[in-house]
Structure 1
Amino acid sequence: MTDTLTTRLAAFAAGPVSASPLAQRVTCLSALDWLAVGRAGAEEPVSKIVREMAQDEGGAGQAQVFGGAEALPARAAALVNGTISHALDYDDTHFAHIGHPSVAVFPAVLALAEQRDYATVEILEAALVGMEGSIRVGLWLGRSHYQTGFHQTATAGAFGAGLAAGRILGLSADDMAQVFGLIATRAAGLKAQFGTMGKPYNAGLAASTGVEAALLVARGFQSNADALAGARGFGETHHGEANETIALDGLGENWLFETVSHKFHACCHGLHAALEAARDLDIAAPEIEEMTVLTHPRWMSVCNQHSPTTGLGAKFSYGTVLAMRAVGYNTARLDSYSDRVCADPRIIDLRDRITVKSDGNLSETQAVLSVLRRDGVRDEATHDLQNLPELAEREGRVRRKATLLIGAERENLAWSILKGDGRAQGFAGLLND
């Protein structure tokens, strides 16, 4: 008999959905955000490599890809778009499981929905179901899975991508369970890749795995439907905590995706609480003598690179991003993160006077920033990313970010497609117009 987790999530993904207005609106924001960061990252080195590999392989064109002149097969398009949209590490994060839902799920949904030219309302519904599912699986896997070294965007994200892809294909609950079983033998991704091209590739793997599993099951492929939570299954072999009660609490009624956090700094989300705290303080160099950051212990191994030499590495360094802000770099701009910035003597001097400490009393979304100025004045600010602004402010910030990345005309068109009676092909056309 299929385990309760798989049964409940499969039924949720295949059944009718009654999403809250807030969940629907936030999904629209994340779709716009995903499009913007994907377009902005289309010419990154990792993006070109993965896209060119997929183009060289060829195949029947089914789905558009960021920056590509030709459509690709659905599975390849999901791989490419998942990788590209995470290339800048500027996409949304959900802190319940520390994963990036959009970059795993939207590429899977669009790769299949475009062929059928689904209405955007159907795309958004399938994406919401998949992203909610990825968060629930991530909660079930728990912190031990993440702390051991698995990248939840790649692992939990693959299950969410499979649920969303299965919904687009109209799979039954029994078929959805089969999708879960198959993904359990395919999902993979390690935190060891952070700071390299391997991190965005993890997102692409999740998206393509979800598409592949759903397409195979739609053709009659059978797997062990208990392979997620059963004996010798994914949870048991990947240090999962099997938090079933937490994972399933309020499923279909309480939408955890409502509390997804959008990025407004172009770096690892673990750095954002400190950067938001810095907005409340005067940290302009050269008046700064030293700074101290208190953060949750889990971020110490994720984004506390002391001496990065590349722009990618800088995105995972408390000292570097705070020094950048202090000397006048805009941490929201993509071009602020470069090898040249890491070699800037002003950055290096101040970075070496920034101390990062762990504090187990803080949550993963909190940071405390203390600043000592050369005149002896010390100031301190605390920020918690879970204290989300009102929806209107969230919408304004996401839309301004999208405008910065893709221009006002394209942002307005994308928003009108998402909020109106748009179709999948119209939205997909914005990936490479």
Structure 2
Amino acid sequence: MEVKRGKKGYKIEIKQGKEDKFEVCHDKKQVTLTFKKKEFKPHKLMGAFFRVFKEIDEGYVETKEHLKWIVYGAYLADWKFGYHKKEEKKKKVLYLPSITKEVKEAQIFIEAQLWAREIANTPANIATPEWMVKKARELKKLGLEVKVLDKSDMRKLGMNLFLAVNQGSRHGAYLVQITYKGGKESIALLGKGVCFDTGGLSLKPPRYMYTMHMDKSGAAVVMGVMRAIAQLKPNKTVHGFLALTENAIDSNAIQPGAVVKAMDGTYVEIPHTDAEGRLILADSLAYIYSKVKPDKVIDIATLTGAAHIVLGRYGSPIMGNDKSLVKAIMKAGEEENERYWELPLWDEYKELLKSNVADLRNIGGWDGEAATIIGGKFLEHFTKKKNWTHIDIASTMQDKSFHQELALAPATRTLLRAILEE
């Protein structure tokens, strides 16, 4: 997608009227978008321009308002995952009256999200943990620092929960730290990067396993955010952590019922090997809090299938012990048309994580009671209740609105907006 100054191709007019209408006249090279006057919201332009640029390759607008949403919609229409298909793709062009600061920022935001989508959708036979490390190292070209912990480093640090998840895989386990140094204030992002999740010995059914190369969506989002941060250059330091492994099966795979000592000394019983994301994030959080000590921490993960039950595809559960950070993320989400709903982390929920043989277990009851909250409550233990927020994108990882059966890298724009404005 290209955004240029000028007038070329179809003229795209935006009007208000009695009802929503989408009209294309190919003979006159004209597109008319009509919105109900009382119901118009700027973010509707994103969906409208998505439709427009599915129909045309070149078009221009004369308006100077709401350009962010126009740019987003055009980019989304132009994006198509499938570089493994042998087909040519014609580049689309959006012409604007001027390329403003708002337009340039919108381009950085949406390009970050689309790059994250490319990573999230890349199949597991290609996007191994090693491939993800290589992608992360490419960000050095943008002036970012990249540090990689491998299995030998994790053993020395006692990151045994992380290693337990990795036991059944022929690929390595890595905690990647990508750093932008922009000021004294610091924030750390942590993304779950399970490059393929079989469920381990608690095996997933085939219908749910098919899309489990997307279980690295959290890490993909963090990579997209860090790419954009290098361009936006905020006056704060941002760390992006990627927790990378597979959850695979062989004779070494961790067995249900195992008890493992975490990096922070907590003994964890693992009744369910398909609750693996919280295990790698737990050790990653322990590392971040003990070694990096940022002012704020946000983790983002496709953590619980139960998130679909809580909010469906229309929003992401959010929870944390830093209420101001939770509010800042939710506000940023409103600005980027991405919804979040805060769930509680009441002390009573920790009762469901009690184990007869260890300090904690990695699931609550087998009936799935409060399962999304329980995932967050487990992670909270490893934050020592310090400045932490958790976003569960399992329910919004895919959406039927724009691209069916593809990972969408939700929350990329939200996190960028929150970092810039928090």
What is the TM-score normalised by the length of structure 2? 0.25
Please identify which structure carries the higher helix content: 1
Structure with bigger RCO (C-alpha 8 Å, 6+ apart): 1
Higher fraction of strand? 2
Larger Rg computed on CA atoms:
2
- TM-score, normalised by the number of residues in structure 1: 0.24
